[in-house]
C-alpha cells in the first residue's frame, strides 16, 4: 500500500437537475468523475476544491456544504485515498481552458451518470449521499493556524 494516504477533494456542482462532470482518461479508458483532485501545499480543502473545479471545468464555484468524507483503497494503484466531497454552487464559467488531463466537462443528469463508466465507486457514492440529502455545515471544517 502506498503511504502516506492521498488527500483529495471533489465537488458536486448541481444546476437544473444536472451535475457538472468531467470526462478523463484513467488507465487508457475514458471515465467520468466529479471535478476532483489532490490537495496542494499551502492551500486548505475549500481552496483546493475551488481550484480543482476551475482547472478542470473553467467554472467558478462557491462551496456551501460538506457532503462527506470518504476513505477508499484503490486496488488498481494500491493507494489509500481520503476524499472530502463538497457541495458547490456554480457562479459562472470563467474559462474554456481545461486541465490537460480532462477530455471534456459536461452537465449530466443522475440517470445519465448512472450509465457512464465512472472513475471509482466514490463518484456514485457521493452522488447518492447528495441525493439522499446528506449535507454538513462548513462550520464543521476548521482550519487552525499556528500562532
- Tell me the average pLDDT across 119-130: 97
In this structure, what C-alpha cell is assigned to residue 51?
Answer: 481550484
- Grade residue 7 by pLDDT with cuts at 50, 70 and 90: very high
* Predicted TM-score (pTM) of this structure: 0.94
Q: CATH number of 2-140: 3.90.79.10, 3.40.50.300, 3.40.50.1110, 3.60.15.10?
A: 3.90.79.10
Residues near 18 by Cβ (< 8 Å), separated by ≥ 6? 107, 108, 109
CA 12/CA 53 separation, integer angstroms: 10
Q: For residue range 54-95, what is the model confidence (pLDDT) as tens digits?
A: 999 999 999 999 999 999 998 888 899 999 999 999 999 999
Cα three-residue angle 131-132-133, rounded to 5 degrees: 90
Closest CA to 111 of 33, 29, 19: 19
Amino acid at each position: 500500500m502506498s503511504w502516506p494516504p492521498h488527500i483529495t477533494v471533489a465537488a458536486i456542482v448541481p444546476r437544473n437537475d444536472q451535475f457538472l462532470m468531467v470526462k478523463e482518461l484513467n488507465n487508457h479508458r475514458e471515465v467520468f468523475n466529479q471535478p476532483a483532485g489532490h490537495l496542494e501545499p499551502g492551500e486548505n480543502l475549500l481552496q483546493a476544491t475551488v481550484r480543482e473545479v476551475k482547472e478542470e471545468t473553467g467554472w467558478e464555484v462557491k462551496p456551501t456544504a460538506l457532503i462527506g468524507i470518504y476513505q477508499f483503497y484503490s486496488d488498481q494503484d494500491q493507494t489509500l485515498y481520503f476524499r472530502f466531497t463538497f457541495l458547490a454552487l456554480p457562479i459562472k464559467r470563467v474559462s474554456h481552458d481545461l486541465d490537460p488531463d480532462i477530455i471534456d466537462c459536461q452537465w449530466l443528469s443522475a440517470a445519465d451518470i448512472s450509465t457512464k463508466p465512472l472513475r471509482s465507486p466514490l463518484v456514485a457514492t457521493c452522488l447518492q449521499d447528495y441525493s439522499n440529502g446528506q449535507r454538513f455545515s462548513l462550520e464543521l471544517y476548521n482550519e487552525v493556524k499556528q500562532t
